[in-house]
Structure 1
Amino acid sequence: MCGIAGLFHLGTPKPVDPARVRAMIDIQAHRGPDGSGVWVAQGVGLGHRRLSIIDLGGGAQPMLSPDERVAVTYNGEIYNFREVRRELEVGGAEFRTDSDTEVLIHGWRAWGPELLPRLNGMFAFALFDADRQTLFMARDRLGVKPLHYTRLADGSIAFASELKGLLANPAVRREPSLQAIEDYFALGYIPDDACLVAGVQKLPAGSYLLLERGKPEPAPVTWWDVDFSQRTTGSTRDAEEQMRTHLRDGVTSRMVSDVPLGAFLSGGVDSSSVVALMAEASPNAVQTCSIGFDSAAHDETHYAALIAKRFATNHRKRIVAADDFPAIDVLANAFDEPFADASALPTWRVCQLARETVTVALSGDGADEIFAGYRRYKFQSAEERVRGLMPADFRRSIFGKLAHYYPKADWAPQKFRAKSTFEALARDGDEAYARAVGVTGPEMRAALFSPSFKAALQGHRAEDRIVAAMRNAPARDPLDRAQYADLKIWLPGDILTKVDRTSMAVSLEAREPLLDHRLVEFGATLPVSLRLRGGTGKWLMKKAMQKYLPDDILYRQKMGFVTPISAWFRGALAEEATRITTTAFAETGWFDPVVLAKVGTDHASGVRDHGRLLWQLVMLEKSLARVFGLHG
């Protein structure tokens, strides 16, 4: 795993200062502590930081073709690079290293952009072709690896794996995007079609950008998308066997490494499945690790220990507590943009733990999005059935009135919190789902933001991108549309960003075998009944893994990697909650100070649960200070 950066002049090929590229790459040294390199030519400069995983003695970057007419800087792993290499060698390509990087050079010359569909892996790279005077930037199908870019005042394009890499270039203007702030409060993260710094873009997952000197900057081209509009045929038994084959292939392909390798183990279905298949394929004990919490209601280490014992892994664990709060400064630096998924803290801790013994760790991320594992899919499907039973106007009237009169009871048991269900049923399905995956709803944001901030948004609303994704999805069923939106927005924006930044912060390569694109494409073709049945999500995956895992792992209630932040802000972090809602953010003018203060007092008294909003505010303050020098 690595960090990349560079500059490309679209117009006149002016000289590139190697020191500027060096600064952009050195600030990302955590992504590649094993080596670095800078290469410049007229009008172009590429930089690279290396974490050595494959071909430890070779594979230095930026890598050049033998005639030095093609140069590439690359972050990722191509798991089928040997197969692609053999195909290229048949065509006459001669390789000088055993690195997957070199496949990109010969593949580009043989196939151009059509190289991308041949690759199975996670990657973001930039390739300069002197003969064509082009810079080709590409990102993997699901967006596992990041790539930021921006156009500078002189017309050149700067790019980097992380935002901090761009900001190391003094020519990048630092101005906050208020639309991105709106997105952040709505979603808890800044999605891939936005950035905290105005003018900075993120290359979308499954896209490429082909820049040609002397021509205008084009729009990114989508080279891959997931299609839910087709349905597989055959028996459930056949589908179950296909599932096991895809799962096994995804895991074993990601076990290739020239450095120590292990796995994260939470004790849930996904990580347990990965560990089970690793143990099946490995002659040695699998290295596993897990993180627990000082709150028993959120702790899963007992289940992780059961799986570790079952598969005889070398297992280690640690506990995260409220006294870990000072670590958020490290997280703010790792993410650059504000990131309010509180599971980032334990994810970073488990990455730290893994890095003590391994350089590569396999995770269980992705299965919930592919096979409908989240509880929200069950609720969305049930609500859509209700919506289909009555005319829209009648439904909106009845459930709208119920929602208006039913009290909001954050303090009550889940079964008595019907207000949100009534509100959802009063809305169309896509709008209800867009709100369901959010953190701070439109009404709360409308109260929280100042009049000047709301005017500056010019009608921008974060949920609209989710509504649009669902309405335009290649899909047959409401469940398809919800999963599609999550794979396009939530997965790259939240889950994969979290894993990339926390693992790279400790120079650990994290691999996601359950996001093998063949498995994703297979999952999208499954009938709804094989994804969600009788209220059980990931139904086919669980059935396929019954050969490996006990029922108390497969069918226990999903806990998720949840940090008990609400309790922390009423306990050890109560003073922080007061400070963030009373004295912070005055400099920005973005918030209504009366509403902000009420957020703190309502949470402290237990009238409302604002734990996630408080975490959002804390993380935002940290990011604003680091990126723009803004302080409360």
Structure 2
Amino acid sequence: MCGIAGLLGPDGDDLKMAFSMASLLNHRGPDGTRSWAEPCSNGGVGFGHTRLSIVDIRGSDQPLHSDDGCVLIVNGEIYNHQQIRNQERSFQFRTKGDGEAILAAYAARKNEFSWVQRLDGIWAFALWDPIRERLILCRDRLGVKPLVRTVTDQGTLLFGSEVKSLRAHPGHMPTLDLDALVARIAYEYPLDETTLFEGVHSIRPGNLEIWKINENGAEIEEVHRWVDDTSINVNQSWSSQNDAGPLLESLTQSVADRLMSDVPLGIVLSGGLDSAMVAALAHEASERTGYPLPACWTVAESEDNPDWVAAEHVCQTLDLEHHQHILDENAFQKSLPNLGWHGE
């Protein structure tokens, strides 16, 4: 994962502020922190990015730039980036990374949203179009990658992968939202775009927001939502004889997509059905893609833990490299402050 952060508003072209916001996300991207900023009408815009290098390790530092002046920061993976590269040969690609496919798709857009639907992957990104002077914030359909935002009293839009990045700006004072906290405790997950902090909201999964800046500061101009028109007949019975094959193929291809990497990957293996299935499918996926077979990692409080035993069984059966770690006594209590900081 990587970390993205930025601002749009009267003080948006503050390069040091963009860097400071991103620096609070260094745990998301230990391979380098970069920032960019430029003025625009009524203020400016600034981006910060902390990178975890996975694809095109040396050539895809962010922000990414296009020949028409657009600037992009992204946290995520675009699995079909090679397909978009083949389709958009007139676009001047500067890297070999997957993120640049977003700029290519945007450059070829025919409207405000359908270009995003060309992307296959998981993402949270911010894209600045200097010609239109518009900022685009977008998340993938399932909301795998986080992206939050708030607007200060002075009219500056702040956004980031985590709420803590907003703390770098003096116009933001984090205040606990007790109503949201009660709802989170009751339902164990958020019911809407609220976070645990007053005035800070998540970009909804599948949403694309377009922001502009005027004499009063940043304001949202348009919101587009990815609505899948796939229809499902709930009365239609599922046949293991007819449907198991396509389902297995879909799962295998999904695992193959996620092996896209220029560095070693791993599987967190609990020994349960879900992670064991991913480990098993990784064999076929590795053969298809040519990427190395990922190793597995298991953590438990003792070797008697059923998950520990089951994970050993899986790796022995599938002949997988297996790394195991026994947690220290009182590991949870010792880690609680860090869990609070990183879990927000």
TM-score, normalised via structure 2 length:
0.89
Q: Match for 2:225: what amino acid? A: T
Relative to 1, partners in 2 of residues 1:131 and 1:233: Cα closer, same or farther, differing over 3 Å?
Answer: farther
Where structure 2 has 5 or more consecutive residues not aligned to the other structure, the ranges are none
Count of aligned positions: 329
Q: Distance in 2 between matches of 1:74 and 1:15?
A: 19
Could you say what secondary structure the match of 1:114 adopts? coil
Equivalence for 2:325: 318
Q: Any residues of structure 2 matched to 1:347-358 within 5 Å, and which?
A: none
Alignment correspondent of 2:92: 94
Does the CA contact (< 8 Å) of 1:285 and 1:312 recur in 2? no
Higher RCO (CA-CA < 8 Å; seq separation 6+): 1
Task: State the shift of 1:144 in Å.
Answer: 0.8
Residue 270 (structure 1) shift: 1.0
Instruction: Report the Cα offset of residue 227 of structure 1.
Output: 6.0
Among candidates 24, 36, 40, match of residue 39 of structure 1: 36
The answer to whether residue 334 in structure 2 is matched with residue 335 in structure 1 is no
In structure 1, the residue corresponding to 2:220 is in which secondary structure?
A: coil
Letter in 2 for 1:21: A
Any residues of structure 2 matched to 1:196-207 within 5 Å, and which? Answer: 196-207=196-207
Superposed displacement of residue 257, structure 1: 0.7
Q: Which residue of 2 aligns with 1:245?
A: 249
Q: Deviations over 1:90-109 (max 9, x none)?
A: xx222121111211112112
Residue matched to 1:302: 309
User: In 2, Cα distance between the equivalents of 1:60 and 1:243?
Assistant: 37
1:235 Cα shift? 4.5
CA gap of 1:106–1:159, structure 2 versus 1, over 3 A, is same
Aligned residue for 1:163?
163
Amino acid at match of 1:60: D
Secondary structure at 1:23's aligned position in 2? helix
- For 2:265, the equivalent position in structure 1 comes to 261
Q: Residues 97 and 37 (structure 1 numbering): CA distance in 2 closer, same or farther, change over 3 Å?
A: same
Change (3 A) 1:262 1:3: same
Structure with higher Rg: it is: 1
Q: Which of 276, 279, 302 is the equivalent residue of 1:275? A: 279
Alignment-mate amino acid for residue 30 of structure 2: P
Quote the RMSD (CA, aligned, Å).
2.2
Are the structure 2 counterparts of residues 81 and 257 from structure 1 closer, same or farther at C-alpha, using a change threshold of 3 Å? same
How far apart are the structure 2 equivalents of 1:305 and 1:165? Answer: 39
Pairwise CA distance, 1:238:
2.1
Aligned partner of residue 213 in structure 1, secondary structure: strand
- Are the equivalent residues in 1 in contact too, given 2:303–2:309 (CA < 8 A)? no
Q: CA deviation at 1:151?
A: 0.7
> CA shift at 1:218, angstroms?
4.3
Offset, 1:121: 0.9
In the alignment, structure 1 segments of 5+ residues that lack a partner are 337-632
Letter in 2 for 1:94: Q
Aligned pairs for 1:485-500 within 5 A: none
Identity, % of aligned positions? 33
Contact (CA 8 Å) 2:206, 2:225: kept in 1 or not?
yes
Counterpart position of 1:223: 226
Give distance in 2, aligned partners of 1:321 and 1:52: 30
Q: How far is the alpha carbon of 1:233 from its aligned partner? A: 7.5
1:259 and 1:169 map into 2 onto residues whose CA distance is: 34
Deviation for aligned residue 1:4: 0.4
Residue-by-residue CA offset, 1:58-91 (whole Å, 9 max, x unaligned): 1111111124x200111111111111121112xx
Matched to 1:313, the amino acid is L
SS at match of 1:56: coil
- Give the 3 Å change call, closer, same or farther, for CA 158–286 of structure 1 in structure 2: closer
Aligned to 2:67: 66
Deviation of 1:190 after TM superposition, in Å, equals: 4.7
In the alignment, is the contact (CA less than 8 A) between 2:84 and 2:104 conserved in 1?
no
Change in CA separation of 1:18 and 1:108 when aligned onto 2, cut-off 3 Å: same
Deviation at residue 225 of structure 1 after TM alignment: 5.0
| Residues 40/143 of structure 1: CA separation in 2 closer, same or farther (3 Å cut) | same
1:540-579 maps to which residues of 2 (within 5 A)? none
| Secondary structure at the counterpart of residue 115 of structure 2 | helix
**If each structure's helix is expressed as a fraction of its own residues, which one has the higher value?**
1
3-state SS of paired residue (1:270): helix
The alpha-carbon distance between structure 1 residues 3 and 320, as it changes in their structure 2 partners (threshold 3 A), is same
Checking the alignment, whether the CA contact within 8 Å between 1:150 and 1:199 is kept in structure 2 is: yes
How do residues 286-301 of structure 1 correspond to structure 2 at under 5 angstroms?
286-294=294-302, 299-301=306-308
CA distance change for structure 1 residues 51 and 292 in 2, over 3 Å: closer, same or farther? Answer: same
Q: In 2, Cα distance between the equivalents of 1:78 and 1:176?
A: 35
Shift of 1:316: 1.8
Give how far 1:141 is off: 1.1
- Relative to structure 1, the CA distance from residue 105 to residue 240 in structure 2 (aligned partners, 3 Å threshold; closer, same or farther) is same
SS in 2 for 1:306: helix
Evaluate the alpha carbon distance shift between residue 261 and residue 58 of structure 1 in structure 2; reply closer, same or farther with a 3 A threshold: same
1:129-208 alignment to 2 at 5 Å? 129-190=129-190, 193-208=193-208
Name the aligned partner's letter for residue 86 of structure 2: R
Asked if 2 retains the 8 angstrom alpha-carbon contact of 1:136 and 1:210, the reply is: yes
Paired residue type of 1:237: Q
Aligned partner of residue 204 in structure 2, secondary structure: coil
Is the 1:292–1:299 Cα contact (8 Å) retained in structure 2?
no
